[in-house]
Structure 1
Amino acid sequence: MDKSGQKSLLRAFTVASLVYASQAHSSGLYLYEIATEDTGLAGAGQAARAQDASTLMTNPAGMTRLPDNMITGGIQALYGDTPYRLDDDAGYQGKSPGNTIGWFPGASLFYHHRLTDDLSAGIGLYGNYGLGLDFGEWAGDRLIKKSTLVGMTLSPALAWKINPRLSWGVGLGINYGYLSLTRNVGGQDEKATDHDWALNFRTGLLFDITDKTRVGLNYTSKTEYHFSIDGKARFPQLPNVEYTLPLSAQINTPDQLMLSLVHDFNPQWSVMGDLGWQNWSQYGGNQIYVSGDAIDRDNRLKDTWHTALGVQFRPDDRWRLNTGVAYDSSFYQNQNDASMTMPSGQAWRFGVGAQYQVTSSSNVGAAFEYLKMDSSGVASPLLKGTYHNPDIYFFSMNYSYTF
């Protein structure tokens, strides 16, 4: 192969390598689901509902509505059905990876304590960002075979009841991120890892418009992880040449704003809704360096919008029955120019769940949510393919105790 051919192949490889490093959110999903009652409502009313200690995350101002001491915890299993198929298997001399996600666990734990009549404090530990991808033995395993991003947040928070109708809260996010990448290097699996710490914050207001209607507004700042992983690759077309691509990328979650409303029609029925925004476009132009050289690329991301509607029915003092539906727009400018490590698009969520009051001081709940996303295409010249109708399923259980 002449030098011009080698350069063309290198350019193609560079484009393909960026499928896991070029996007601001590479290898991660930013989720509303954290194994709480919100899952059964598809997140509807999350910044205004304030029925357990997990309000520390969705709107810390809601802690002023809680009992003096409360613990809320939950466990969750996510199953992703995200099959990736190359456009022409034969042309890549290999097979498509099939489903790339499968099962991924999650958990959360929150504690609230009332300091005075008007001041509350809390602390939470949760993970709402990350993803595990397993492409297995496939045509592109020199680029990526497995990738795992795990993000955990420890969050202390305070809430102040300014007056009987208005509360304000603020929380600090101490975030730990871990990234691993496994690739096929010379017929052997090679795993590279990195980790980082990052800080962010959230602040919120909760206002009782009337005795039956309240509105919550919550702002969460961006979180920026800095990971640096070196990758090596060989190509059958160039058996004596090894490319070393030092790849460095920020893997970020954007700042977001969430407005929620809850209206209690009577002691049995409540309706709730959301309107939210996430600032993804700020990350679409992140600069990526390959072998010290800057790679020019267009902003492929845009801001997203979220809306949700939910209903809660309380047939008696022991039961809360929840259901909800939510919609999120896609953060891709072009759904046919997506990241291979981020099968995402506009998404619909459908949730259902129930809470049961076991004793006067404890309740237990279970919830299920189905997330349906648009198909997305990857335009990489080496590994062009499609995620066809990806789905994600959430199964969660939670428990709350007051004392």
Structure 2
Amino acid sequence: MWAALGVVGLLAGFSGGAAGAGFQLLEQNASGLGNAYAGTAAAAEDASTVFFNPAGMSALKGRDLAVSINAIRPSAKFSDRGSSTTGPVPLGSNPGGDAGDWSFAPALYYVHALSQDWTVGISVNAPFGLKTQYDPSWIGRFQAIKSELRTAAITPTLSYRINLSTSVGLGIRAQKAEAELTNATLAGIAQVEGDDWGYGVSLGLLHQPTPATRLGLAYQSQIEHKLEGDLRLAGTVTPVRAEVTLPDIVTFSIAHQLAPRWELLSDIAWTNWSKFKRLDIVRKSDGAIVSSTPENWEDSWRFALGVNYRYSQGWKLRAGVAYDQTPVRDDFRTARIPDERRFWVAIGVQYKPLPNSALDIGYAHLFVKDPSIHRTEPLAPAFTTMLRGEYDNKVDIVGVQLSHTF
């Protein structure tokens, strides 16, 4: 357990760069990346089912290990369309460069069958993450410079096979969150940092109505984080706190064997982003709000379709597409999260050098609708900044995974 907690700390330093809607990290394995994460709650192909649907552990035999890492490269380039200020400090014309950069999402999964019906497992991964960073002198510096959220979670799980066709699963998640926000003020650069541990559950159901079809239903509960840390500005340090609720997620998946070589996967997921109403930074000493940002996000849906082709005993080819709604409303979009809906196109390949070992490689490109922003921020009496423009966004993801059955 202590070794796993050490890995959690390491993962918290890696995670960032959301590729899912909002700041969700879908990239929790590489075997699913090639299918655009279609069928995640029903595939139960390797030990990563611990995260996607703990009931799927009952479909595995013996002891299974999966280790994966996804490299995520978001790109967000701003073009000004008439930003302005009412204050004495000119905004300039620097568009901020590319606010996206490479980040990495590693994950570790292990499954152990205790008996014919009972199976235990554990996952260590980073379910949420975000990082945007602009040039410090960019035109929108009074609204955002750096925004980063890192999470790392450890989830012990248990599954029970009710009968030959139905299994259920349960996981208890402990999740660490770390956040950093910076922006310019009239007194200099303000930096807020905070961290917290939060706790939640995951539930799963796997049902196989026919030998060729599996149905999966998975639920991940919301996790409330009460971040505590410091606000640093002009040489002073002020203890502050902020509450952030990471949403619950419901996923329904189908995996169907169309023919001996062909498998069809589908996925529909709902994420309860409407919990994210506003982000308040509160001074701990007296409860005064030092910064408040209305968010007013909406619930989002994701739809995915994938296919696998078994070329030979050693090779499997994957492909998938997905449509991912954004929870961000146009009139509340911020420079910290310039999110919009996206369309996934993914491919992947699996190579099995041995019957009990597999290497997966996946790639996905996300076509992101160009988001617009028109946001006014008050900084002081009679001093406001208005950021107005458009973004050119895209995301590329490359993943590698090693799986082994003992």
* TM-score category of the 2 structures, normalised to the smaller one: 0.7 to 0.9
Instruction: State the shift of 1:251 in Å.
Output: 2.8
Aligned residue in 1 for 2:338 = 343
Structure 2 Cα separation of the partners of residues 186 and 386 of structure 1? 23
Q: What's the CA shift string for 1:50-74, capped at 9, x where partnerless?
A: 0000001110000011120010011
Aligned residue in 2 for 1:394 = 397
Aligned residue in 2 for 1:197 = 197
Aligned residue in 1 for 2:102 = 103
Instruction: Give 4+ residue runs of structure 1 displaced > 6 Å after superposition.
Output: 185-188, 242-247, 294-299
Aligned residue in 2 for 1:378 = 373
Structure 2 Cα separation of the partners of residues 349 and 247 of structure 1? 39
- Do 1:347 and 1:372's aligned partners in 2 also have CA atoms closer than 8 Å? yes
- Do 2:109 and 2:121's aligned partners in 1 also have CA atoms closer than 8 Å? yes
Aligned residue in 2 for 1:39 = 33
The count of residues paired between Structure 1 and Structure 2 equals 369
Structure 2 Cα separation of the partners of residues 197 and 397 of structure 1? 29
Aligned CA distance change for structure 1 residues 49 and 142 (closer, same or farther; 3 Å):
same
Return the match for 2:355 from 360, 368, 374.
Answer: 360
Return the match for 2:60 from 66, 69, 72.
Answer: 66
5+ long unaligned stretches in structure 2: 1-20, 86-90, 377-384
Q: What's the CA shift string for 1:160-207, capped at 9, x where partnerless?
A: 000000000011111011112344578876654221100011101000
1:148 lines up with 2:148 in the alignment = yes
Superposition CA RMSD, Å: 2.8
Aligned residue in 2 for 1:20 = none
What does 1:180-259 correspond to in 2, within 5 Å? 180-184=180-184, 191-228=191-228, 231=231, 248-259=241-252
- Give secondary structure in 2 for the equivalent of 1:193: strand
TM-score (norm 2): 0.83
Aligned residue in 1 for 2:11 = none
Q: For residue 72 of structure 1, what is the amino acid of its counterpart? A: A
Structure 2 Cα separation of the partners of residues 105 and 299 of structure 1? 26
Structure 1 Cα separation of the partners of residues 258 and 326 of structure 2? 34
TM-score (norm 1): 0.84
Q: For residue 56 of structure 1, what is the amino acid of its counterpart? A: V
Structure 2 Cα separation of the partners of residues 162 and 254 of structure 1? 29
- Give secondary structure in 2 for the equivalent of 1:132: strand
Aligned residue in 2 for 1:115 = 114
Aligned residue in 1 for 2:135 = 136
Q: For residue 259 of structure 1, what is the amino acid of its counterpart? A: F
Return the match for 1:316 from 307, 312, 320.
Answer: 312
Q: For residue 251 of structure 2, what is the amino acid of its counterpart? A: M
Q: For residue 226 of structure 2, what is the amino acid of its counterpart? A: H
5+ long unaligned stretches in structure 1: 1-26, 235-241
Aligned CA distance change for structure 1 residues 232 and 142 (closer, same or farther; 3 Å):
farther
Instruction: State the shift of 1:144 in Å.
Output: 3.5
- Do 2:305 and 2:320's aligned partners in 1 also have CA atoms closer than 8 Å? yes
Aligned residue in 1 for 2:266 = 273
Instruction: State the shift of 1:132 in Å.
Output: 2.0
Structure 1 Cα separation of the partners of residues 45 and 37 of structure 2? 13
Structure 1 Cα separation of the partners of residues 150 and 293 of structure 2? 27
Task: Select between 363-372 and 140-149 the one with higher mean Cα deviation.
Answer: 140-149
- Give secondary structure in 1 for the equivalent of 2:128: strand
- Do 2:190 and 2:231's aligned partners in 1 also have CA atoms closer than 8 Å? no
Aligned CA distance change for structure 1 residues 395 and 190 (closer, same or farther; 3 Å):
same
Aligned CA distance change for structure 1 residues 364 and 244 (closer, same or farther; 3 Å):
closer
Aligned CA distance change for structure 1 residues 282 and 156 (closer, same or farther; 3 Å):
same
Aligned CA distance change for structure 1 residues 283 and 117 (closer, same or farther; 3 Å):
same
Structure 1 Cα separation of the partners of residues 27 and 236 of structure 2? 40
Aligned CA distance change for structure 1 residues 362 and 104 (closer, same or farther; 3 Å):
same
Aligned CA distance change for structure 1 residues 396 and 71 (closer, same or farther; 3 Å):
same
Aligned CA distance change for structure 1 residues 386 and 42 (closer, same or farther; 3 Å):
farther
Aligned residue in 1 for 2:174 = 174
Structure 2 Cα separation of the partners of residues 112 and 283 of structure 1? 34
Q: What's the CA shift string for 1:89-117, capped at 9, x where partnerless?
A: 68622412121011111110100100011
